[in-house]
């Protein structure tokens, strides 16, 4: 059981979205992290003590940052008894400026926010704990990220254009097309894109395509239809991709709790009151 809250208005930074989560303490938290084509920032506060087990066998308590595509093959889990926090999804185009670390440096790993921000991580936790409403928490988080983003470095316009093209095509654009559209050679695009986004273009497109497909599976669409309409050669191709990204089959991933709240938390509709799911 979760209470899910969404901001009344979009972030001041394009490419940043957030939602608030409070678990009801009905059962212990034990969630497989499903890879997603964003960088995730989880700002924990309150009296709970959640932790993240990562692919390297490390356990992180408190607030964390997870690189783009974190959780491949079911290697990252969120566990604990209770949790209250703000989860932020950052496009890799803005993540470097807002977080102060390149998605390429994260390389899909989970990092404690204290290690990246030092005292600033403790300050935002205290501020989130001191206020009483989700809107105040969203405002604090957004102000912090907007300030950091304004002072941080931007990615190349060509890289940003290529990324947005991948997302708008649901991962179905070819690398050769991207290179032509931005006016770069395929080699230059691969190098600059990988260095600034954290994945090579082909892998990024594959992750975006997987994300669209797995959310359709979670919504109840059949695997054959999803495969046919999502750019996969056949249902076996979809099966291989899902297993490669999550470590489980399409039928299993369709029921993953990690995906169950996405249509509420990340649908893009602002102004909703907290809902229990």
Residue 24 has a pLDDT of 81
Instruction: Return d(Cα 96, Cα 68) in angstroms, integer.
Output: 12
Q: Higher pLDDT residue, 99 or 273? A: 99
Instruction: Return d(Cα 218, Cα 210) in angstroms, integer.
Output: 12
Residue 268 has a pLDDT of 61
Average pLDDT, the chain: 93
For the cut 90, the answer to whether the pLDDT of residue 271 exceeds it is no
Instruction: Return d(Cα 97, Cα 150) in angstroms, integer.
Output: 7
* Helix %, strand %, coil % of the chain (to 5): 45, 15, 35
Contacts of 145 (CB under 8 A, 6+ apart): 11, 13, 16, 88, 90, 98
- Do 30 and 99 fall within a single domain? yes
For the cut 60, the answer to whether the pLDDT of residue 221 exceeds it is yes
What's the whole-model pTM score?
0.93
Band (82; pLDDT cuts 50, 70, 90)? confident
For the cut 60, the answer to whether the pLDDT of residue 12 exceeds it is yes
Give the mean model confidence (pLDDT) for residues 193-211: 97
Contacts of 267 (CB under 8 A, 6+ apart): none
Give the mean model confidence (pLDDT) for residues 18-30: 88
Domain limits for position 163: 157-246
Among candidate residues 120, 153, 186, the one where a domain is terminated: 153
- Do 203 and 107 fall within a single domain? no
For residue 214, what is the domain's CATH number? 1.10.10.60
For residue 48, what is the domain's CATH number? 2.60.120.10
Domain count, the chain: 2
């Amino acid at each position: 059981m979760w209470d899910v809250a969404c901001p009344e208005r979009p972030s001041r930074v394009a490419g940043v979205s957030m939602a608030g989560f409070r678990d009801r303490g009905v059962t212990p938290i034990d969630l497989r992290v499903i890879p997603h084509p964003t960088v995730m920032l989880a700002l924990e506060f309150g009296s709970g003590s959640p932790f993240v087990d990562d692919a390297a066998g490390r356990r992180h308590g408190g607030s964390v940052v997870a690189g783009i595509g974190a959780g491949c093959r079911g290697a990252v889990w969120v566990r604990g008894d209770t949790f209250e926090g703000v989860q932020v999804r950052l496009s890799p185009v803005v993540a470097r400026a807002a977080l102060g670390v390149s998605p390429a440096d994260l390389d899909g790993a989970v990092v404690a926010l204290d290690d990246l921000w030092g005292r600033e991580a403790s300050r935002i936790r205290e501020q989130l704990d001191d206020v009483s409403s989700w809107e105040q928490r969203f405002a604090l988080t957004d102000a912090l990220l907007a300030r950091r983003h304004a002072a941080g470095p931007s990615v190349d316009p060509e890289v940003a254009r290529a990324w947005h093209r991948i997302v708008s095509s649901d991962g179905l654009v070819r690398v050769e097309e991207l290179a032509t559209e931005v006016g770069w050679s395929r080699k230059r695009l691969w190098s600059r894109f990988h260095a600034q986004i954290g994945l090579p273009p082909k892998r990024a497109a594959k992750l975006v395509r997987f994300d669209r497909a797995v959310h359709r599976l979670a919504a109840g669409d059949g695997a054959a239809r999803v495969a046919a309409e999502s750019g996969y050669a056949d249902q076996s191709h979809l099966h291989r991709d899902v297993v490669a990204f999550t470590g489980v089959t399409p039928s299993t991933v369709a029921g993953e709790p990690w995906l169950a709240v996405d249509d509420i938390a990340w649908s893009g509709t602002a102004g909703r009151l907290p809902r229990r799911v």
